[in-house]
Amino acid sequence: MASTEIPGVSPTPTEGGSKGAQMLPAADIAVLVVYFLLILAVGLWSMWKTKRSTVSGYFLAGKNMTWWPVGTSLFASNVGSGHFIGLAGSGAASGIGPTAYEWNGMLMVLLLGWLFLPIYIAAGVTTMPEYLQRRFGGKRIQIFIAVLYLFIYIFTKISVDMYAGAVFIQQALGWDIYLAVILLLVITALYTVAGGLAAVIYTDAAQTLIMLMGALTLMGFSFAEVGGWQALFDGYSNAIPSIRDPNTTCGIPREDAFHIFRHPVTSDLPWPGVLLGMSIPSMWYWCSDQVIVQRSLAAKNLLHAKGGSLLASYLKVLPFFMMVLPGMISRILYPDEVGCADPEVCKEVCGNSVGCSDIAYAKLVMNLLPAGLRGLMMAVMLAALMSSLTSIFNSSSTLFTMDLWRHIRRAATEWELMIVGRVFVLVLVVVSVLWIPLVQSSQGGQLFIYIQSISIYLQPPVSVVFMAGCFWRRTNEKGAFWGLVLGLLVGVVRMILDFVYPAPQCFESDSRPDVIKYVHYLYFSIILSLLTLAVVVCVSLATEKPTREQISRLTWFTRFDPVQISEVDKEAGIFTVDEKRGETTEEPIIDTGNAGKAQSKLKATLLWLCGMDQGSGEKAPPPPPEAVVSSLQEDPCMRHVVNVNLIVCLSVAVFLIAYWA
């Protein structure tokens, strides 16, 4: 079918080719330059401020973060470029339904602060696989989970953010994708490698401020252009493309577009699945995902960790207004492009025959904003991409170093761990670049829904095992392991079936098997969770009880047990007792044989930039084990403050969900 030019709409970047980069106004270039200088300054400041030459300093920012950088980093790590592109695209395609994921996250991040973090802090762990190893004993669960997490990060999180960044770069700048992405990866890898978690958290705080400023500005322009709140309600139902098959539902907005709770059988997001099926993988993400939990473990104490969870929860209200509603406005303003319903038209508009809803946000940026503000929004998208990638890089490096490399090299020195952690970030950069062609060819339709559906096939078994380990003392290693294995096997089978039998487009008949057609992925999440729980319970009850060492300070009910120095602590030989149990005392790094030798200024400078400055080789004597019990103590006055905020935040979440249900 021939393409039709739409009056009043500028050509898409696919039509304009690479001219976008040449026509970029000086004001936009200036804003981008200021943005990069700001991030560079924050990164250098954080490198100067924090101690990066110990395992605790590099991977947990010295456990000295206050509530506001923790909270902003939680938000920035979650809201990547995939969020901006995907949520706006889903809003354009199906209305406000996907907002349920955001407001569900409001509740789950509070569960992290009040239920899960006290257990992790009492256990004194650095990584989530390390917690499972302490809780259940043995090594197979720790290695299994570490490999699974790395798989999820590399092939879903990195790929999704890379794809979303590529979509924006294509639509907004016309740059070559490989050149732009490699440039961004080099910048993010440099301050991730050099600064560790502290640099990532502080730059995340700056990125969050930029994201909020830019996204709220675009929201204002969008509402002004469409004519206000009521015009959005009236216009969305009429945002129908001019070219569509009149005998199908293609291109017609959903009747339930302004409802979160939808029909339990025929809708895209059935309400029982939203209530139950959505919460289980969301609990994995917010309460046991290394990327999220690592930021909270970097807090100086439990109160600051709770404050960070509260700030992140409050900020999670905003994506509905900053991304979903602008996405719906974009469909109203550009129905023939964002809402295209004919595969040939869609192919010409955005290069994807399935649909072009994922260009909704970029269309608003390029068509509504004046020079200067457009540069600010480019900075916002780059901030979102870079903040999520740095978070993944740092956490993946932590997992590989602490859970896999230490298993391979039991006698590894702290110096060696520092080098391995940094080199693995560079390996991830190479993998990310090689993954771009696959992402470009495989993604389609609604990016945000793709993320959630894939996650639901892999995450519920892990979530169930963490819940059982934290809140049921009888759970043992055999029950957890076989629950994980069987649950993930079933989830992978369903994921493969979904790829073999993709959902039909609106003009095609649905010939998928009944188990795919009638069992929505949110319902499958419930079934998979119950299956995993049944295996965990049955196998645990049929086998031996866990030992006292596998329970003490490792469950909700035993978190205040007296501290015991376990054999695991003694064998590890890397952390002092206070670091293993959650205190902030630092120790000089292990002597590598170079201490006391003269170093050239160039070598000393390079070592400092990489955070590898060497100490004297003398280790500070560890404090008595009893000293670490205070890590769970809270100031009574401040505890009341955060608990009152907890009630307020829960009330806000319940009100929002009920109002839009």
Least trusted range by pLDDT, from 69-83, 114-128, 587-601: 587-601
Amino acid at 532: T
Chain mean position to CA 345: 33
More confident position, 23 or 352: 352
**Per-residue confidence (pLDDT) for residue 174, from 0 to 100:** 67
pLDDT higher than 60, residue 229: yes
What was the pLDDT predicted at 61? 61
Beta strand extents in 496-618 (DSSP E only) = none
Question: Is the model's pLDDT at 235 over the cut of 60?
Answer: yes
Top-confidence residue, 15 or 563? 563
What pLDDT is recorded for position 369? 87
CA angle 439, 516, 261 (to 5 degrees): 85
- Check if the beta carbon of residue 120 is closer than 8 Å to that of residue 131: yes
Residue 366: pLDDT above 90? no
Residue pLDDT, tens place only, 402-435? 888 988 888 878 778 878 887 888 888 777 777 6
Distance CA 108, CA 287 (A): 7
Q: Rounded to two decimals, what is the model's pTM?
A: 0.82
Q: How far apart are CA 331 and CA 355, in angstroms?
A: 12
pLDDT at 18: 36
Determine the Cα–Cα distance for residues 279 and 448; give it in Å rounded to an integer: 16
Tell me the per-residue pLDDT of 77-124, one tens digit each, with 9 for 90 and over: 888 777 888 889 889 988 999 899 999 999 999 999 999 999 999 998
Q: Are 516 and 546 in contact (CB under 8 A)?
A: no
For 456-470, how does the pLDDT look when each residue is reduced to its tens digit (9 = 90+)? 888 999 999 999 999
Structure tokens at 212: 């909020």
- 43-53 residue pLDDT tens: 777 766 665 55
Q: Between these two residues, 195 and 231, which has the higher pLDDT value?
A: 231
The pLDDT of residue 4: 32
Mean pLDDT of all residues in 547-569:
82
Q: Is 60 exceeded by the pLDDT of residue 586?
A: no
Tell me what pLDDT residue 167 has: 65
% of residues, the chain, pLDDT over 90: 35
Residue 26 has pLDDT above 80, yes or no: yes
Please tell me the distance from the alpha carbon of residue 500 to that of residue 236, in angstroms, as a whole number.
33
**pLDDT tens digits for range 165-192:** 766 766 666 666 677 677 777 777 776 6
Domains and CATH numbers, the chain: 23-503+511-564+628-660 (1.20.1730.10)
Instruction: Please check the confidence at residue 267 and state whether its pLDDT lies above 60.
Output: yes
d(CA 347, CA 340): 10
What per-residue string of b and e applies to 411-438 under the rule 16 or more CB within 10 Å gives b? ebbbbbbbebbbebbbebbeebeebbee
Q: Which of 286, 280, 284, 275 is nearest to 309 (CA)?
A: 286
Fill in the amino acid letter for 11.
P
Tokens 């009574």 appear where? Answer: 636
**Local structure of 299: helix, strand or coil:** strand
How far apart, in whole angstroms, are the C-alpha atoms of residue 60 and residue 620? 19
Of 67-81, 559-573, 586-600, which range is least confident?
586-600
Tokens representing 178 are 């490989």
| Confidence (pLDDT) at 445 | 46
How many other C-beta atoms can be found within 10 angstroms of the C-beta atom of residue 440? 17
Q: So what's the pLDDT on residue 646?
A: 96
Does the pLDDT at position 535 exceed 90?
yes
- In this model, does residue 228 exceed pLDDT 50? yes
